[in-house]
Structure 1
Amino acid sequence: MKKRKIEVVVISDVHLGTHGCHAEELLAYLNSIHPKKLILNGDIVDIWQFNKRYFPPSHLKVLKKIIGMASRGTEVHYITGNHDEMLRKFSATSIGNFSIANKLVLNLDGKKAWIFHGDIFDVSIQNAKWLAKLGSYGYNLLILINRFINWCLAKMGREKYSLSKKIKNSVKGAIKHINDFEKTAADLAIEKNYEYVICGHIHEPKKEQYENKYGKTMYLNSGDWVENLTALEYSFKRWRVYHYNYDKLLPFFVDEDLKEMDMNELIASITEERKVKSSNINKKSLGKQGLTQDGDGM
């Protein structure tokens, strides 16, 4: 069964290492696609809440999958966010098809796309990081409570319910924060002459044309893999928001070898992949040399 070929895929706010992360669903999605470019737009690994006692096999498997995609030709761009800000000291680092940056500009069919996580617009993070971290722990606890509630609802045959979405939609301050975020990003993109501006951070997937008196741009947000399970996909000169829970997913589910895997096994697996790849390259090189030598001898 063929994987869907996509020019650009953007995912963000995966928060590996937290209880709210839907790693198995993300694996299923990554197994169903073959993108030319994969943009990881911040907060992929949650270093703020990292705990060595909680990093399940499926979370490790996501990392292995991404590295595997890079080794097979996909350009992987890791854009840093606030939860993985420790990686910002490695900005401009590039290893093969894998690179780390704080922002990225792509030329897509003659149109410029400006991609960054978006935490720079968050005043609470800029001025009171401890408060932002406290809020992050509270959010993670809310997700855990929500999971228990949804488990109970499923037992009763009822639909799932999102506490965090209910709170966001009912608190005027939260709605204003999201609207201000989107407007600020769009206004700056118009000022800098970008046709697309792509963010994450606020966990609100969106695709919307924005216009002011100076011009227009398309604002896009990749959402998250905690509540919404969404991604952005670009193909045939068009962007779309992919919703895992609603869009048809080809039957590429979690790998069968998703078993107990520790960090040593992950490293060994990656190292083995590199050895095989290197061996294949050497064989091809020796084969070419042999043909040249035969040709010279004739």
Structure 2
Amino acid sequence: MKKRQIELAVISDVHLGTYGCHADELLTYLSSINPKTLILNGDIIDMWQFSKHYFPASHLRVLRKIIGMAANGTEVYYITGNHDEMMRKFSGASLGNIHIRDKLILDLDGKKAWFFHGDVFDISIQNAKWLAKIGAYGYDLLIVLNKLINWGLLKMGKEKYSLSKKIKNNVKGAVKFVRNFEDTAKELAIANEHDYVVCGHIHHPKKEIFENEKGRCTYLNSGDWVENLTALEYTFKRWKIYRYNADKLSPFFVDEALKAMDIHELIATITTNIPKDKKNKKAKKAPKKEKKGSQKGNAVL
């Protein structure tokens, strides 16, 4: 199928390696677009909750897809967040079309766009990281519980329900934090003469024009791929919030070759150069010829 050609796509807060991550849906989205630039705005891999026991093949496919997009010419910027802060030691490094940064400023049709994750505004992370990590584990547990509840609701023919959104909307402290986060980002953007400020971190997708006595800017937040399943797209000098549940189109599908790969193939393609499908097929066919002569040929992976 023909992919949508867009100038820039922004995703954040994917949290690969956690039970709440919607990796299959994200893979479908990435397979439907062909952006010139892809910005991963923090918390892509959740290293706070990383476990050797849970990193399914679907999560590896997302990584392979991103690497494949970079190999095919997309400029990929990995902006570090708090859950993948270990990547900050590599900030400034580039590997082909993949660039690791703590923040990024781009010129978009003559306007300055400022990209950063946003955890720098979070006092709990700066002053009590242990408390923030406990909160992250609690949030992941809440998402798992919510999945079980929604499974039961769907079986009864009822609509899905978001526990975390309900809690956030009813807890004054959470509402105040989100409001303060957004106001701080907007005011700093205007003070630094940026036309756009693009964040993640708070899992709250938004597009809003903000104006004060010092100037004007557009605040944007890419949301997340745990609850909202959203991204930001920029093309034809316009920003749009992409919402998977509302905007997905039936012709879009995940590449079948990628979907069919097992976990051993996925690990091999991520840790080495990305092989072409033809090479994979030849590698699989070769052992069959030596089937009778030796059993060594059977241990391909």
The normalised TM-score by structure 2 is 0.89
Tell me the CA shift for residue 273 of structure 1.
Answer: 2.9
Task: Tell me the equivalent position of 1:251.
Answer: 251
For residues 275 and 162 of structure 1, what CA distance do their matches in structure 2 show?
A: 41
Whether 2:138 is the aligned partner of 1:134: answer: no
- Could you say which residue in structure 2 is the equivalent of 1:296? none
Task: Determine the C-alpha separation between the residues in 1 that align with 2:121 and 2:78.
Answer: 19
> 1:254: how far off?
2.8
SS at match of 2:47: coil
Residues 46-69 of structure 1 show CA distances to partners (whole Å, capped at 9, x for unaligned) of: 000000110111000000000000
**CA distance in structure 2 between the aligned counterparts of 1:35 and 1:55, rounded to whole angstroms:** 27
Conserved 8 A contact 2:57-2:266: no
Q: Secondary structure at the match of 2:245?
A: coil
Cα distance, 1:267 vs. partner?
A: 4.0
Give the superposition deviation at 1:260.
6.5
Q: Is the 1:31–1:254 Cα contact (8 Å) retained in structure 2?
A: yes
> What is the CA–CA distance in structure 1 between the aligned matches of 2:16 and 2:148, rounded to whole Å?
20
Match of 1:110 in 2: 110
Amino acid aligned to 1:130 = W
Q: Give the partner amino acid of 1:20.
A: G
Tell me, yes or no, if structure 1 residue 171 matches structure 2 residue 171. yes
Q: CA deviation at 1:208?
A: 0.1
Instruction: Note closer, same or farther for the CA distance 1:21–1:275 as it changes in structure 2 (3 Å cut).
Output: closer
Q: Count how many residue pairs are aligned between Structure 1 and Structure 2.
A: 276
Amino acid at match of 1:30: L
C-alpha deviation, 1:255, in angstroms:
3.3
Task: Map Cα deviations across residues 16-70 of structure 1 (whole Å, 9 max, x no partner).
Answer: 0000000000000000000000000000000000001101110000000000000
Name 1:39's counterpart in structure 2: 39
Residue 251 of structure 1: how far off its partner (Å): 2.1
Find the residue that maps to 1:16 and give its secondary structure: coil
**Following the alignment from structure 2 to structure 1, what is the Cα–Cα distance between the partners of residues 55 and 254?**
17
Quote the Cα distance in structure 2 between the aligned partners of 1:98 and 1:31: 18
Cα distance, 1:250 vs. partner? 5.0
Query: Which residue pairs with 2:145 in the alignment?
Result: 145
Alignment correspondent of 1:279:
none
**Do the aligned partners of 1:76 and 1:99 also contact (CA within 8 Å) in 2?**
yes
- Residue 261 in 1 paired to residue 262 in 2? yes
1:221 Cα offset (Å) = 0.1
Q: What are the superposed Cα offsets for residues 202-237 of structure 1, whole Å, 9 maximum, x if unpaired?
A: 000000001111111000000000000000000000
Q: What residue identity is the alignment partner of 2:242?
A: Y
Match of 1:27 in 2: 27
Superposed CA deviations along residues 217-272 of structure 1, whole A, max 9, x for unmatched, are 0000000000000000000000010000011425222333425633x422433535
2:285 corresponds in structure 1 to none
Q: Say whether residues 1:17 and 2:17 are aligned partners.
A: yes
Task: Name stretches of at least 5 consecutive residues in structure 2 with no aligned partner.
Answer: 278-301
Equivalent residue for 2:2? 2
CA contact (8 A) 1:8 1:234 kept: yes
Q: Aligned runs of 1:68-147 on 2, under 5 Å?
A: 68-147=68-147
Q: Is the 8 A contact 1:29 1:249 kept in 2?
A: no
Query: Counterparts in 2 of 1:269-288, with a 5 A limit?
Result: 269-270=269-270, 271=272, 273=274
CA contact (8 A) 2:17 2:45 kept: yes
5+ long unaligned stretches in structure 1: 277-298
Please list every run of at least 4 consecutive aligned residues from structure 1 whose deviation after the TM superposition is greater than 4 angstroms. none
Q: Which amino acid is 2:253 matched to?
A: F
Q: Tell me the residue number matched to 1:281.
A: none
SS at match of 1:246: helix
For the residues of structure 2 that align with 1:190 and 1:77, how far apart are their CA atoms?
A: 23
2:8 aligns to what SS in structure 1? strand
> TM (normalized to structure 1)?
0.90
- Is 1:32–1:250's contact at 8 Å kept on the other side of the alignment? no
Q: 1:250 to 1:196 in 2, by over 3 A?
A: farther
Q: Give yes or no for contact 1:17–1:45 (8 Å, CA) kept in 2.
A: yes
Q: Please give the secondary structure, in 2, of the residue aligned with 1:77.
A: strand
Q: Can you list the C-alpha shifts for 1:167-211, whole angstroms capped at 9, x where unaligned?
A: 111111111000000000000000000000000000000000011
Change (3 A) 1:154 1:244: same
Q: 2:261 and 2:136 mapped to 1: Cα distance?
A: 28
Q: Look up the equivalent residue of 1:104 and give its one-letter code.
A: L
Q: Percent identity?
A: 70
Alignment partners' CA distance in 2, 1:102 and 1:272:
26
